[in-house]
Structure 1
């Protein structure tokens, strides 16, 4: 009996103790909840305030983006595309790509548009991005690729700047540059077999006449030009057949999308050429004749920074063409080579003038 009574008492005490502990635990939890909920709400409130302030701060900053270029220089090689880029870069609205030539639409298109944008400067909404790659004009896939890219981005296609020059001077300058860079194996293959331009020209014209003789009808020649272009030696001449390449681009873009700059005039009177180019591109005219100075040591005009400093093109630019008494002079080009080239290009230049 006694042992049973003791068991009942022990159980009762245990129950009362558990009840007391549970009651105190509930009071403790209620107190914690009362203390923590306001703190939690305050934390959320502070966090939300921080994000709202961040949004407000970001909205107040100028919107900088790496935009696709609104102006693209498409050619032509050795006609002054580098000079035009440098001169235009002094305009307050213009921002040029981080490298001189991106070669995206001709060689690196498979890398995607995000890769292309990495070469673009960070610009505000009122600024204009300019890129140039002279090889674009002679690469048949480029026009369609530009349309596809800009359509996917949901923005208008760009304006195009095409610097053209006397194709005779262009061919000679192109060959001379390659001859000067014979340490480059790709270029030495093209010119290493020829002592000079005259020797090259004789061989190149003979090859062209053998496979695509000029019959007076330029369209017959155009049918063969893509095939001829596969011969890399002939490209020094074929890049100057402007009419063929331009008619290909006009299949995709209207004439008003092109600003054609005369490269020879850019050498003689850069101020006048740049004023006209700015007007055609819809820019405020900021770059004028007063901003250029003739530098005798270079034989060319440079941009005047101040009374004591000029900004000139780098070494290797303008080495084959100089300005003498207001005339572009091509040093090293023989009269015989000039005559042959003028005869070769004559029908194509006639057609080109009709197109523009």
Structure 2
């Protein structure tokens, strides 16, 4: 009998010990979850993405948006949704690339490669479902041949060619890349720069995943010549608080385009910020025949874009 009682006592003590350990373990796990939740809450989901198009003023748009105190944007392009190696790093990695959010702020990033990558719309849609959040999308477009030449300008700079001294070399490059060797017609099979300017083709892909109202289209040409009107429209789309955009722009006659200025109240001065040296650099002169052929090539695409969006682009005729 005593043995039984002693055994029972040992069992009860053991149970109480296990209960204390379990309770302690639960408290530790609870504390860990609380810490984890606090860390996760510091990682902000994006409210908007500037998805492209490349060489259409995406950097200028993001720089202008960043003047608004309600906006926080990432610096470098993240390339999460388009590059497999980044996408495979997971959502936590992506969120760590985004800036911290202050109360009332909207978080955004821009990666122009998103617009033309086939799998990106589906990935963003999947991301929305996983996080339970609708992300606003912004697309900038500009006159397609101008965009191609701007793309070419960057390639010329990367190859260390001179836009004047290497003019013949540059035009031969365009002939080789933009025209089919047999038919002599413009083709998008040899040079990605040609395909990027087919805005209607890429936009159809996005509209299969998102409603039209979720993609705001910015006229990249007007963003350069009249940034005020475009920024007011973007502000309305993002539901930003009122902001003095008109006082934020300064036309630099030397550079030939708008720079940004912000009144610094603490210093009672104005800070002027122009785009980097890679912006506003001289474009190579394209032979008139080549230019005309490119203009003709994009006419059907431009017409389709106007029909799809209902937007009156000056060049889409």
**Could you state the TM-score of these two structures normalised by the residue count of structure 1?**
0.68
Any residues of structure 2 matched to 1:127-206 within 5 Å, and which?
Answer: 127-156=105-134, 158-182=135-159, 195-206=168-179
Aligned to 1:298: 255
Question: Equivalents in 2 of 1:194, 1:68: separation in Å?
Answer: 46
Question: Equivalents in 2 of 1:249, 1:151: separation in Å?
Answer: 16
In 2 relative to 1, CA 283–67 (structure 1 residues): closer, same or farther, beyond 3 Å?
same
Q: Which runs of 5+ in 2 are unaligned?
A: 1-33, 264-268, 310-317
Q: CA deviation at 1:271?
A: 1.4
Q: Give the greater-gyration-radius structure (CA).
A: 1
Residue 124 of structure 1 aligns to a residue in which SS? coil
Among residues 76, 79, 87, which one is paired with 1:100 in the alignment? 76
Contact 1:73/1:161 (CA < 8 Å) preserved in 2? yes
Question: Equivalents in 2 of 1:104, 1:94: separation in Å?
Answer: 20
Among residues 291, 305, 316, which one is paired with 1:338 in the alignment? 291
1:288 aligns with 2:245: yes
Q: Which contiguous aligned blocks of 4+ residues in structure 1 show a shift greater than 3 angstroms?
A: 193-197, 208-211, 306-309
In 2 relative to 1, CA 130–285 (structure 1 residues): closer, same or farther, beyond 3 Å?
same
Contact 1:74/1:161 (CA < 8 Å) preserved in 2? yes
Residue 104 of structure 2 aligns to a residue in which SS? coil
In 2 relative to 1, CA 147–272 (structure 1 residues): closer, same or farther, beyond 3 Å?
same
Aligned to 1:319: 281
After superposition, the CA RMSD in angstroms is: 3.0
Question: Equivalents in 1 of 2:118, 2:138: separation in Å?
Answer: 17
In 2 relative to 1, CA 123–109 (structure 1 residues): closer, same or farther, beyond 3 Å?
same
Q: CA deviation at 1:209?
A: 7.3
Question: Equivalents in 1 of 2:300, 2:183: separation in Å?
Answer: 18
Aligned to 1:47: none
Q: CA deviation at 1:126?
A: 2.2
Can you list the C-alpha shifts for 1:122-162, whole angstroms capped at 9, x where unaligned?
Answer: 11352110100000000010011111122112222x11110
Contact 2:167/2:285 (CA < 8 Å) preserved in 1? no
**Could you state the TM-score of these two structures normalised by the residue count of structure 2?**
0.75
In 2 relative to 1, CA 208–347 (structure 1 residues): closer, same or farther, beyond 3 Å?
farther
Aligned to 1:31: none
1:351 aligns with 2:304: yes
Question: Equivalents in 2 of 1:205, 1:349: separation in Å?
Answer: 18
Q: CA deviation at 1:64?
A: 6.2
Aligned to 2:28: none
Can you list the C-alpha shifts for 1:192-251, whole angstroms capped at 9, x where unaligned?
Answer: x9954432332234328749x78xxxxxx9xxx7xx3xx4xx111111010100001100
Aligned to 2:180: 207
In 2 relative to 1, CA 310–240 (structure 1 residues): closer, same or farther, beyond 3 Å?
same
For these two proteins, the number of residue pairs brought into alignment is 265
Question: Equivalents in 2 of 1:182, 1:197: separation in Å?
Answer: 10
In 2 relative to 1, CA 275–339 (structure 1 residues): closer, same or farther, beyond 3 Å?
same
Contact 1:74/1:132 (CA < 8 Å) preserved in 2? yes
